[in-house]
Structure 1
Amino acid sequence: MFSIDATESKSPLWASAFPGFYMFAAGLCVLTKVRDPSAEIGIWGLLVGACLVPAFVVPAVFSTRRVRLAVSEAGLHVDGRRCKIDDLRIEDLGRHGARIHVVFRDGEARTFQAASTANARKLAAQLPPNSVPAHALPV
């Protein structure tokens, strides 16, 4: 079984939810002040103000994750999970490796970045013929 380490640009759900939580907390502070103009915002207002930048930076910090792409007789495995693919394309990035574009049978498209173009091509070449379209196989 041949495998390579790659990265995927996909932010986790919890990191993507941070801006929504921030907007919810800010809305509660504004609602409190509107309902009772004499109310002190206090620590909650300070926290809302202090969390403005981190709430929108956290998704960017956690936007990439490491994955292991492996090939077996059953097809392509992403982090140990077998996936059926419809399309696989390799984009050469020169000295920066290769970008692997994969479209799965369920219509989901994912992009992985490998450190080496040669390893990405070797991964595509070792896929069994029944799991990848003919144009992705080496000639």
Structure 2
Amino acid sequence: MTLNVLKNRQLMTKEINDLIVSHEKVAHVQLENRLDHALLVLIKSGYTAVPVLDRDYRVKGQISKTEILDSILGLEQLEMERLHDITVETAMNKNIPRLRTDATFQKALTTSINHPFICIVDDDDAFVGILTRRSILALVHRYLQ
């Protein structure tokens, strides 16, 4: 077996723990927050989407600027006054990928193709942090050098 094959196999079976951005450093919102709060979090953080957590810090989905704008889109204009009337739970995307902390790099790489970040949860489904596409690509780049 060549050295490159061994390196590739080592990379693909590597666990993702070292790549996770800890939950303490991740902007997020709660289910019961209003869209005006979620929009403020997104604007202040500079992110286009953030995780949505319940009161027990379990991942329930994600909210993005696009989902917020879709929620206040009227027939002819944006109805900005509705931002305070709609909860994050109503507007969020519930269909998002989640990985466990012991997931392999190969699984993370495959999952990240269609998602800028992946929520990482523990065995009790509690939010641990996120895995960004950027960190995945940076590791691939280091291996290719």
Give the shorter-chain TM-score range.
under 0.3
Q: Select the structure that is richer in strand.
A: 1
Give the TM-score, by structure 1 length. 0.26
Give the TM-score, by structure 2 length. 0.25
Structure showing greater radius of gyration is 1
